Chains A and B, each alone.
Chain A
Amino acid sequence: MRDNRSSDAQDTQPGQQSAAHALRPLTAAQGPAATVPSPDGEPSAAGDDAALADTRLLAALRAGDEAAFLQLVDRYHASLLRLALMHVSNRQVAEEVVQETWLAVLLGLKQFEGRSALKTWIVRILLNKAKTRAQREGRSVPFSSLPALDVEADEPSVEPERFHSPDHPQWPSHWAAPPHTWESVPEQRLLARETRRRLREAIAALPAQQQEVILLRDIEGWTAAEVCNTLALSETNQRVLLHRARSKVRRALERYFDEE
């Protein structure tokens, strides 16, 4: 049951706030979280600070402080837009979904009990609105009718034919066609608009849950614990989804960089 993603202004269960820490900007200027590994779910001083920052921000918002609201908007708007774009067909609809989300945030402020991190709460509202909108557009099937994540399903990260067979006399299951280094790809090409387009395309081709996880983890720089909380995933399933998503995105980039 995904009961804690079923309605808009719903708060999380008690006891989750220690893991849903860090009200750091979603626009992770410090880069993806994966390059700065942080232990999952460990209550930390940073978590307490973030909870305190949430409390202060909430008080300011409830008091009608415009600056506090704009701070929140500047911090999360672009992230919310990217999340919305994973579910709806175009930018205009995504913008509407995000605007609706902000309104719902304001209207829900009074009821929000702060048991989950503010950003977790906001993102849940966004995801619910985006999914509702996508269903109305006939763009996706209702979430509950999607097959559950099958972590046992065989989904190799790399095409099996790139390895020697398991009974190879010298190199069983070792690289037959190893990857080529990207060290020689010029920086200009790595950071080119086309590379970013290919990345977005590769993400758009992923199943919905994999998209959500890779977006929050590797684009927005959330911690594993925050993603587990927001998407109601176990740590293991979060990691499986992340692994599959990253593996496919790497493959797409490899195809692209190997083209020339």
Chain B
Amino acid sequence: MNAPSDLTCQELVELVTDYLEQTLAPAERARFEEHLAGCPGCQIYLGQMRQTLKLLGTLSEDSIEPAARDQLLRTFQHWKRDAEAE
């Protein structure tokens, strides 16, 4: 039995970002997908990368603390007063 395509696993992991960013040329993309279709290890790798991105997205869920917001509002009011006095 031969490898699923002429692309190796070690090469595929270096192309994962280009693949997800959709910057692979059509022929390269086809090679990538051909390998992927026959390689459970690389399917899992790509799945982990997608999961990683999903988890990174959850880190943006904080919001501003009310005290900091109030302070900024005062900063703005000062700025406005100074700007009007000019």
Contacts and interface: CB of A to CB of B under 8 A. Distances in A.
Interface of A: 26-28, 31-32, 34-35, 37, 39-40, 64, 66, 69-70, 73-74, 77-79, 81-82, 95, 98-99, 102-103, 106-107, 156-158, 160, 163, 166, 170-175, 178-183, 190-191, 195-196, 199-200, 214, 218-221, 224, 239, 242-243, 246-247, 249-250, 253-254
Contacts of A95: 68
B3 A171 contact: yes
A174 B52 contact: no
A91 B24 CA distance: 40
A174 B83 contact: no
B17 A199 contact: no
A158 B16 CA distance: 12
B41 interface: yes
Nearest to B57: A32
Contact of B53 (A32, A195, A254): A32
Contact of A182 (B8, B21, B22, B47): B47
B56 interface: yes
B48 A182 contact: yes
Contact of A178 (B41, B53, B68): B41
Contact of A219 (B14, B57, B68): B57
B18 A35 contact: no
A239 B18 contact: yes
Contact of B10 (A39, A73, A163, A214): A163
B59 interface: yes
Q: Is the interface of A mostly helix, strand, loop or mixed?
A: helix
A179 B44 contact: yes
A221 B72 CA distance: 25
Q: Which 6 A/B pairs are nearest by Cβ-Cβ distance? A: A178-B41, A173-B8, A243-B17, A175-B41, A32-B57, A218-B56
A190 B17 contact: no
Given A103-B75, A243-B16, 12 more contacts: A32-B57, A34-B20, A39-B22, A66-B73, A66-B76, A156-B14, A178-B41, A219-B57, A242-B21, A246-B52, A253-B51, A253-B52
Interface string B1-44: 10100001111011011101111000000000000000111101
A103 B10 CA distance: 49
Given A69-B76, A181-B44, A242-B17, A35 B53 contact: yes
Contact of A70 (B20, B23, B69): B69
Contacts of B79: 103, 106-107
B53 A218 contact: yes
Contact of A174 (B17, B41, B75): B41
Given A37-B22, A64-B80, A174-B8, A221 B64 contact: no
A27 B56 contact: no
Contacts of A78: 60, 62-64
